Structure 1
Amino acid sequence: MSRDPAYFRTISVKLSEVLDDIGVNEKTVLKKRRMILLSETIGKIELLLFDKCVTNYYFGSQSEGSTTIGLESDMDLVNCSHFVHVIKDWSEWQHGMINLLMIRDETTSPGYCLLQVLRKDEPLPLYLPEHLSESADIFRCYTVRGGRTLMKPASFNIDVDAFGVTNVKNGPANTVKLAGFTECDLVTAFPCKSWPVEAQAWLVRQGIGRWPTEEMKTYCEKTGCFVVPVSSKSSQCEDLEWRISTSMAERYLMFSLNITQIRCYILMKMILKVFINPQCNGVLSSFMCKTALLHCIQCTYSNSWQPPNLLACLTFCLIMLENFVRQMNCPHFIIPKNNLMAGRISPREKHKILEILQNFIQTEGRALLAIPIDKLGTRLQVKMNMYVAFNYYWSPALIYEINSGDFLMHVSTAINANHLLFLERITDERSGDVQEMLSDFTFKLMNAYREIGCNSLEKSALKLMIPLLYTSLGSAVASSEIYADGVISRKALTCFSIGLNSDVSSGRLKFASAMYCLGDMIKTEIVLRNTEGLYDLNIVEPVCKCFVSRTVPTRHGFKYKSSTGNEELLRRTIAFCIRFTRHEINCVPQELQYEMFRSTQEELFERNELCDFWMDWAVVDSLPYIYFLQYKTYGHLQRAAEQQQALTNLVATIEIESNLCHRETALNLLGQCMEQENRHNDALRCYMLSLNTRARNNAANFLVSRLFHAFARNRHVV
């Protein structure tokens, strides 16, 4: 075997260049981390407004920036429930909370625990009679064993079926498959503010490279831990064991790595995906690769991890992983007594993995040429002048554009989804006065925005969310005023003004809709013309999260524009759907009001209340609504040519725009325009296409009946 240092340095430098080209560089990694953490922060805004008991955290490769397009890494979403208080000793008990005491004994595996239920009124165990039937309601969450009342893990797995998405059970996670999106592993967890006992030794352990630093360890200790409803593979009490997770600390450690260390981890995952797991039933995980990397970093000097040493560093990590497999023990980095390989690998699989790793190490990097992911092997051959340069793979600039577009779409989706949840909470029948709640919320968020320091994720998140809520407030106020006095006050106009730049179009279109319902056609036409001018069809992407829908690839212009900045570009590249609650009905044209009453009594009974609540509103995509309002406005202004052009644009949008989430609503609006044109056959065709898109909970059912009634009354023959 050649151990020529010059050879290793040459391969390492070229390999680093290839990884830079496919997006594994500081610029892309930092941007991905910012956008994912910004999405997480947007979700936490609810904590400022509601008595929220759940927080979502993003973990894994996507949040770390330790992936590539070709690796197709999933998103790890931890659904953290705060309605319980997990404690490690009695001194942490809190009055009025569901307190769960961590129990570790000879039956629990290292890194795992049982959760004993305590009383809410005083720090004592909760006792349940052991003779109760296991069918009793209380036993859905609890069981009694050895005189202790214990929490059952199985009762806290997320029921993603309730949200109408496809999912696959994957250990503690539900792998949710959303069309057009990266797979997302959803895991339920309970938080514990205390650092786990099993990880105390890690705080004082010191490696050669003095990494992690004492400051980093102090920060990690403050993050506490989670408990996750999953047992060890070799557990004696599989139905009761909870895993102790230090995901928050692990994410922080990954954020501290330099780009060579990140590249090393990505190469390990590629090797795992291409060479090992296809032959070994997927028994090794990327988390084991990460664990090997962290152990290697701890026991080496930090200056070793530089681009000219990449191949040597990769070899060192693979040898570490090989030793773990040989010993059948992969010690968790923070809780080393937790063997990540326990009960996972059969003797045959062990032999095969060792053979693959040994062969790969002996090739001294030549096996990397066979990796097809992101065309890494071919790109490396080109860099080494082993292959004639070719142009059919993605350029570094294009890869950065694709990544940037994905990041911006992720943030936009988070904003849209959270706005949906805000409106659902606000318009709940038990919520009280909607205008008062919206005023209170906007006041709270504005105060929080002023108090937060510059350059924080919290400030950026509030800056993105506040305009949407102001638009909703302005529309609700204007609706009441139009109904009562036929005017719109300065307060409503101020709210609309603050919300104009929430995105490319939705804030402006809600303002235009209010002006239209007020009867101010001149102002309506000006706003619509300006909005159409801002809506660049080559750049702007529609975004809607009212329900899970098929998502098509984004426009090239959107990707390019996304690469020129961060979340601030949302205002020039994203068009949110427009949501009118029933409290805004007087700001909604009659043709769109039908959408608020789309469901029959039978359909109301069958709807999923967790995710179909938006069907009581009028919701429409921005682009078709521009043309619909133009058609109506130009009709009032008696500008026939421009009215017909708007109708033509509406037809073309419905036919050509592939990413309309509320296509049935656009078709219903088009059908009513056709009725106004006395083109009744075309109107019927629109309604039937609408029903083909959404057969139930569709206003087209009523519109068809109305159209047939008009036929009968006027004795028309279809």
Structure 2
Amino acid sequence: MFQAPEYIESVSVLLSDVLSDIGVDERIVLKRRRAALLAESMETRSIQLQGDNATAYCFGSQSEGTTTLQLDSDIDQLWCFNDYNVIQDRSDWKPGVANYLMIQDDTVSPGYCLLQRLRNDTPLPYHTFHDKYFSSKRKGKVLGERKGKILIQNTFLSAVAGAVHGGVRHGPAQTLPEQPGHSNVDIVLAFHCKSWPLQARQWLDWQGVGQWPSADMRRYCGSTGCFLVAVGSKGSQHEELEWRISTSLAERCLMFNLNITQIRCYVLMKIILKTFIKPYFEDTISSFMCKTVMFHCIANTHSNIWKENNILGCLSLCLFVLHNCILNENCPHFIMPGNNLMRGNIPHTDKPYILQKICDVVSGRCIALLEIECASLGLRLQLKMNNLSSFKSSDIVSGYILKTLARETDFIIRSCIISISNSSNEEAVQTLLKYIFKLVDTSHHCVGVDKTACRLFAQRFCTSLGSALASHSIHLDNAVSAEALTWITLGLNTDVSSGKLKLASIYYCVGNNRKTEITLRNIERSYDLNTVEPICGCHLYINQAPRKGFNTVSNDHNEEAIQHITAFCVKFLPYEIKCVPHELQYEMFRSSKDTLHFRPPDDYWIKLTVVDSLPYLYFLQYKTYRCLGRQDEKKRALSTLLRTIDREPDLGHRETALNLLGQCMEQEDRAEDALRCYLLSLRR
């Protein structure tokens, strides 16, 4: 079954070129990793700013850089609660906190453990417990007793994960509703244990034939500890009491130390899985099994085989090992070999067909690869084999990465802002100041993407703080205080337009039409319609292909390009109401108190004024030129507003833009046109 054809070297080089063309090269892999780690850091900052002692992690293909646009890999998030002290030795017990002792004996499935609650005043177990004591804990926490030990059921965190609105449960993960054009988001809640799991201690002293993983890698992995995920082993007698031990941080380290051929081989395995296995046997072979197989192959072969001109041989080797794992229904976890990843996963009725599929791919040699439609891999390979060039998509991939990061940035920061939407102006100012000072302090103690995350957050909060202060000073004196302008200035350059539009809006509300006009002119000058992408984290289903100019700039830059080629939507909260033109203030009163309770949780924006940058730019121009009596420029602004609403495909708040257009039409005495705009707005 496993033979290397004579032409393996030449085809391998062509195949490597094809994978590079679709975005699997060193530079794009690093771009993906940096974007994922930055989003991870921002998510953690957001959680902690809002008072929760938790850390967010982004694992899986997105953070590894082992995906393509067409693979549409899930986004795997793990949220770790840090208020719990999970230990493997009683000497690590801490007073005054919730301590849980990991139990790993022969009654527990390999790769799993039990959690025993210890007392807060001494490192001894509870023998009895009272409902009153546990009733003060998080709802959904249920304890079970086993051989006199009080154990926590894994339904504790599973129940919390199940509370995520609209999601579907998949094992320990909560999969958020899929949006067209977007990846699924799987959120897993977990505890963390600082010490390396007992079941994996031998691995720290083991080294494969190819001197991989290295001693330094294993030393680092040993410092990462482990996570405890709320799911038991399938079919276990104590499934509801077991917690899966996860070494995701160590596995991330291993992935980050692969060379580009190994990464491409893994991506190829996932493409083959997507093409030949998943359409027929969806829940049998997972990408994690493929990753594990590849780890075993790398560790048990010499490093000199993992080269660009031998990628076909590497792929055949991995598929051969995967075939044997399926045949024996045993895929040992790379770090904890006692944990069989395939246990209970492959129905006996499906097994012969899955084996045959893999045999067909291996024995078919290049023919199977030429049949792959995912990422047009087969067509691209055929073009290469006929000395024809194939389209290189690195700029498109770069644009997708940056646009996704910008949208996630907006989404994450917005969650912090929304959390204070019910605050008074004074309360909001104090909260935003606290956020900014905390971010500045954190920034002094971190480096890299963590420092960048703090800066991105702080800038946006500066704009919000300045707007809140301006709203208060306008309310008192119909003027903008110097303090408000100082804070707003600190956040003006987060993107091309949103911060500057808030400033223009403030000037307009105090009647300073000259400064309003100058600010708007500067925004329009920097807003290149061929390059700037509208970014709206409010409606994730909008996913138009980025502009060509946006892709070009994204290809040459990382997150620093966000301030030059993106335009976030403009958000005003109730405590900023005096900074909002009266036509937009109505947006804050779209629901009465009686109906507000019946709205779904994702209608968080119902009390906000949110408008896309471009329509708001032209609306403010129309209003300003009207006040200045400049009729030609007023007509141009109105015409451009109408054209933008009609033609711009990437608007997240088209209904708000239509509402503004309708009010402009009223002021133009075009009642029928105004009514038409209002009706269209209501239908959206």
Does the TM-score normalized on the shorter chain lie above 0.5?
A: yes
Aligned to 2:245, the other structure's residue is in SS state strand
Deviation at 1:163, TM superposition (A): 6.0
Whole-Å separation in 1 of the counterparts to 2:190 and 2:525: 47
- 1:287 to 1:685, Cα distance in 2 relative to 1, 3 A: same
**1:632 aligned to 2:623?**
yes
- Asked whether the 8 Å contact 2:423–2:575 carries over to 1, the reply is no
- Which is further off, 569-578 or 543-552? 543-552
Q: Do residues 583 (structure 1) and 575 (structure 2) align?
A: yes
Indicate how the Cα distance of structure 1 residues 128 and 535 shifts in structure 2: closer, same or farther if over 3 A, else same. Answer: farther
Letter in 2 for 1:35: A
The question of 1:237 aligning with 2:257 is answered no
Using the size of structure 1 for normalisation, the TM-score is 0.89
Q: In the superposition, relative to structure 1, how do residues 449 and 154 fare at CA in structure 2: closer, same or farther (>3 Å)?
A: closer
The yes-or-no answer on 1:10 pairing with 2:22 is no
* 1:376-418 CA-partner distances (Å, limit 9, x unpaired): 2222222222xx848xxx711xx21221112112211222122
Q: 1:41 and 1:2 mapped to 2: Cα distance?
A: 44
Structure 1 position 573 matched with structure 2 position 539: no
Q: Which stretch has the larger CA shift, 664-673 or 434-443?
A: 434-443
Deviation at residue 173 of structure 1 after TM alignment: 1.9
Between the aligned partners of 1:59 and 1:617, the Cα distance in structure 2 is: 33
Say if 2:590 is the partner of 1:602: no
2:416 aligned residue:
422
Q: Is the 8 A contact 1:36 1:410 kept in 2?
A: no
Deviation readout 1:420-474 (Å, 9 max, x if unpaired): 1221334454997322332333233334445545xx1122223322221111111
Q: Distance in 1 between matches of 2:421 and 2:131?
A: 45
Q: Contact 1:163 / 1:611 at 8 angstroms: preserved in 2? A: no
Give the gaps of 5 or more residues in structure 1: 694-718
Shift of 1:162: 6.2
C-alpha separation in 2, matches of 1:4 and 1:161: 49
2: distance between equivalents of 1:10 and 1:463?
Answer: 48
SS at match of 1:347: coil
1:105 equivalenced with 2:105 (yes/no): yes
Are 2:44 and 2:54, in contact at CA under 8 Å, matched by a contact in 1?
no
Alignment of 1:272-351 (within 5 A): 272-351=273-352
**What's 1:438 paired with?**
432
Q: Indicate if the aligned counterparts of 2:41 and 2:56 stay in contact, CA closer than 8 A.
A: no
CA distance in 2, matches of 1:161, 1:600: 29
The 5-angstrom pairing of residues 318-717 of structure 1 reads 318-385=319-386, 389=388, 395-396=391-392, 399-429=393-423, 433-450=427-444, 452-453=446-447, 456-608=448-600, 610-693=601-684
Kept in 2, the 8 Å contact 1:549–1:661? The answer is: no
Higher mean Cα deviation, 94-103 or 502-511? 94-103
1:670-695 CA-partner distances (Å, limit 9, x unpaired): 222222222233222222222212xx
Q: Does the CA contact (< 8 Å) of 2:2 and 2:362 recur in 1?
A: no
Equivalent position of 1:256 in the other structure: 257
Which letter maps to 2:579? C
Counterpart AA for 1:169? R
Structure 1 contact 581–618 (Cα < 8 Å) conserved: yes
- The equivalent residue for 1:713 is none
Q: What do you get for the CA RMSD once the two structures are aligned?
A: 2.7
Deviation digits for residues 630-669 of structure 1 (CA, Å, limit 9, x no counterpart): 1111111111121122112222222222222222222222
Tell me the distance in 2 between the aligned counterparts of 1:138 and 1:671: 49
Give the AA of the match of 1:546. Answer: C
- Give unmatched runs, 5+ long, in structure 2: none
**Stretch of structure 1 that moved more, 495-504 or 179-188:** 179-188
Q: Could you list the per-position Cα deviations for residues 319-370 of structure 1 after superposition, in whole angstroms to 9, with x for gaps in the alignment?
A: 2212222322111001111000111223343333333333433344443222
Indicate the residue corresponding to 2:84 in structure 1: 84
| Counterpart secondary structure, 1:182 | coil
8 A contact 1:547–1:611 mirrored in 2: no
- Residues 259-301 of structure 1, C-alpha deviation per residue, up to 9 Å, x if partnerless? 0001111111222222234444541111111101001111122
Query: Structure 1's 144 and 430: CA in aligned 2 closer, same or farther, altered over 3 A?
Result: farther
Give the SS at the match of 1:606: coil
Partner of 1:125: 125
Distance 1:409 1:95, change over 3 A: farther
Q: Residue deviations 1:509-532, cap 9 Å, x none?
A: 011011111211001001001111
The answer as to whether partners of 2:498 and 2:613 remain within 8 angstroms in 1 is yes
Using the alignment, how far apart are the partners of 1:40 and 1:78 within structure 2? Answer: 10
Aligned positions of 1:202-221 closer than 5 A: 202-221=203-222
Question: Per the alignment, in what secondary structure is the counterpart of residue 85 of structure 2?
Answer: strand
Q: Aligned partners of 2:164 and 2:239: how far apart in 1?
A: 28
Between the aligned partners of 2:598 and 2:122, the Cα distance in structure 1 is 43
**Distance in 2 (alpha carbons) for counterparts of 1:578 and 1:158:** 35
1:23 aligned to 2:38?
A: no
Which residue in 2 is equivalent to 1:707?
none
Q: How much has 1:131 moved relative to structure 2?
A: 11
Q: Which amino acid aligns with 2:391?
A: S
Change (3 A) 1:17 1:665: same
Residues 158, 188 of structure 1: 8 Å contact kept: no
Report the 3-state secondary structure (helix = DSSP H, G, I; strand = E; otherwise coil) of the residue aligned with 1:675.
Answer: helix
Q: Using the alignment, how far apart are the partners of 1:380 and 1:144 within structure 2?
A: 57
Deviation at 1:621, TM superposition (A): 1.2
Contact persistence 1:115–1:150 (CA under 8 A): yes
Q: Say if 2:75 and 2:186, in contact at 8 Å, map to a contact too.
A: yes
Q: Structure 1: how far apart are the matches of 2:151 and 2:290?
A: 34
Distance of 2:230 and 2:419 partners within structure 1: 29
Cα offset for 1:87?
Answer: 2.0
Q: 1:179 to 1:692 in 2, by over 3 A?
A: same
Q: Distance in 2 between the 1:575 and 1:381 partners?
A: 40
Distance 1:130-1:499 versus aligned 2 partners, 3 A rule:
closer
User: Quick one: percent identity of the two aligned structures?
Assistant: 48
The one-letter amino acid of 1:670's match is L
Give the number of aligned pairs: 681
Contact 1:96 1:120 in 2 (8 A): yes
Following superposition, the deviation at residue 203 of structure 1 comes to 0.4
* Cα pair 1:332 1:340 within 8 Å, conserved: yes
Deviates more, 1:410-419 or 1:425-434: 425-434
Q: For 1:506 and 1:563, how far apart are their aligned partners in 2?
A: 24
Q: Write the distance in 1 (CA, Å) between the matches of 2:484 and 2:534.
A: 26
The more displaced of 420-429 and 36-45 is: 420-429
Distance 2:198 2:649 in 1: 54
| Distance in 2 of aligned mates of 1:138 and 1:566 | 40
Conserved 8 A contact 1:158-1:174: no
CA distance in structure 1 between the partners assigned to 2:343 and 2:465 by the alignment: 56
Deviates more, 1:557-566 or 1:42-51: 42-51
Aligned position for 1:716: none
SS at match of 2:239: coil
Q: 1:111: Cα distance to partner?
A: 0.4
Report the Cα distance in structure 2 between the residues aligned to 1:489 and 1:355, rounded to whole angstroms. 74
